[in-house]
Amino acid sequence: MAVESIPKPSMTPEQVAIVKSTAPILKEHGVAITTHFYAAMLAAHPSLHNIFNRANQATGDQPRALASLVFAFAAHADDLPALEPAIRRVVHRHVSLQVQPAHYPIVGEFLIAAVAHILGPDTVTPAVADAWTAAYAVLADIFVSAEADMYRDNQDRVDPVTAHKIWPTPAGHDGWRPFVIQRRVNESPDGRIVSFYLVPQDALPSSSDEGLGPKQHQPLPTFLPGQYISIRVPVPEHGGGKILQPRQYSLSDAPGKDYYRITVKRDVEQHVVAESQQGHHPQVRPAGLVSNILHDNYKEGDIVEVTYPMGEFYPPSKNDEDVLPNGAEKPMVLISAGVGITPVMSILNTVLAAANGSSSEGGGAKRPSSRRSRSSRKAPITWIHGSHSTTARAFHEHVAEVVSAHPGVVSAHLFLTVPPGDSSNTENGVQGREGEGQGHERQKGGLFLDDPTAEYFVCGPRGFMDAVRDYLVEKNGVDEARVFREVFGTGS
């Protein structure tokens, strides 16, 4: 007997209209709704702390991000394809964090309850509640279906030579795979930026392997430059170390090696001005929980859990749109600030390695050298980086070697944000942030603003990203489709 397919969730035209009509009130009260939602759900299901970022809960970033998504869904209830780019970004995040189908009914229950609690029965009538219940079912189905495809693709990949699975995970670990810190390297003079070279634990020999010959190597999945992985570690100060916390870190080297490299900045407490629907208000951002745990507690030989590389911040491949019809390559401009340098470094290393006809610069966890044969790439690459000071800049020596090894192709420019009147940090740079005033004006030639084929890859804090985008798109007329951005943090 044929098994009937289960119909996909849907909304009636009346329910679509009701959901869309609630968009203004959700815009006004969305953060209150999602803040109540997270508090109630995590109190009832504390195991979900292993998925949700505690720091983003504390700062309100997570509730604000969810509120924005809920509002966008309501506003586009009659045009869901318009949400595809935003949904795709969230799907990548969810798969990286191993969000499972069983989580969605829990989220739905507490989200609908939070809407009713904050807005009250006069607003959330039975018809409104039914409409939003149907709407959530549609949204959950979109996420579950897209995530299932990605999970299946990641887990089913096999090495063509050995026929072994590329991403084996121990029983009970879901998609989390133990990796060993093979090497730890300081990347900035102030010691606040550190690279961790990670290799799969199942690829290392153990004492039980003695006399059995070489251990079968499980190849690492390749990744696209600019993608990230999730790292998960126990948090000693919460739940006696039983609470796990994941964080996503960009891969900071080219693919094709037998290690993954992440580069982590020690985040310290900051006093900032946060922006919300109610305006600007001062806020204290706590010191980074996981970044400080990694810096303080994790040394070579220690183990972290890792998930499959994900993310969409990467250049088009040569088989896609990277080469113009006449065979010429497009100029590339890499713009980063702070630890936003990490995906940019992966892109730079990968593009130059591909131009040399290789995807790797050697095996092991040895730091890749940039002293190699001249690149065959002809199109220029401009790299512009903003740092607080010369002591906070990462990969300085590596970038200098890259520029030296590729004359006429790669140019690099460092800009510093220094206190007024402090001349100690002006070496090789100027005062002021990228996107503002003289920094960009001096580098107009390197930005290729008059070249309609140039592509821009921008990574850094949200305010920095917005300033760069405004400068390129609003002030200089660059097509926004050629500006690719990766914002670190929730909701990116």
Locus of tokens 């980086």: 385
Strands 410-416 and 381-387 come out as parallel
Q: CA 61 to CA 59: how far, in whole Å?
A: 5
Q: Which residues contact 327 (CB under 8 A, 6 or more apart)?
A: none
Among 104, 136, 249, 259, the one annotated catalytic: 104
Q: Which long-range contacts (CB under 8 A, 24 or more apart) does 446-452 make?
A: 446/333, 446/380, 446/382, 446/384, 446/411, 446/413, 447/333, 447/382, 447/472, 447/476, 448/331, 448/333, 448/380, 448/382, 449/476, 449/477, 449/478, 451/331, 452/479
3-state secondary structure of 65: helix
> Are 258 and 364 a contacting pair, CB within 8 Å?
yes
Task: Note if 321 is an active site residue.
Answer: no
Q: CA 374 to CA 197: how far, in whole Å?
A: 27
Q: Which two tokens stand for residue 190?
A: 């102030």
Strands 455-460 and 483-487 come out as parallel
Strands 303-306 and 177-186 come out as antiparallel
SS (H, E, C) 428-485: CCCECCCCCCHHHHHCHHHHCCCCCCCEEEEEECHHHHHHHHHHHHHHCCCCHHHEEE
Q: At what angle do helices 23-44 and 103-119 cross, to 10 degrees?
A: 120
Q: CA 253 to CA 265: how far, in whole Å?
A: 16
3-state secondary structure of 372: coil
> Are 67 and 31 a contacting pair, CB within 8 Å?
yes
Strands 303-306 and 228-234 come out as antiparallel
Q: CA 308 to CA 222: how far, in whole Å?
A: 10
From the list 129, 135, 117, the residue with the least C-alpha distance to 69 is: 135
Among 147, 187, 305, 361, the one annotated catalytic: 147
Q: Which residues contact 295 (CB under 8 A, 6 or more apart)?
A: 192, 194, 264, 266
Lateral strand order in the sheet of 177-186: 244-250, 228-234, 303-306, 177-186, 193-200, 260-265
Q: Which two tokens stand for residue 409?
A: 């192709």
Task: Note if 136 is an active site residue.
Answer: no
Question: Which active-site residues does the annotation give?
Answer: 104, 147
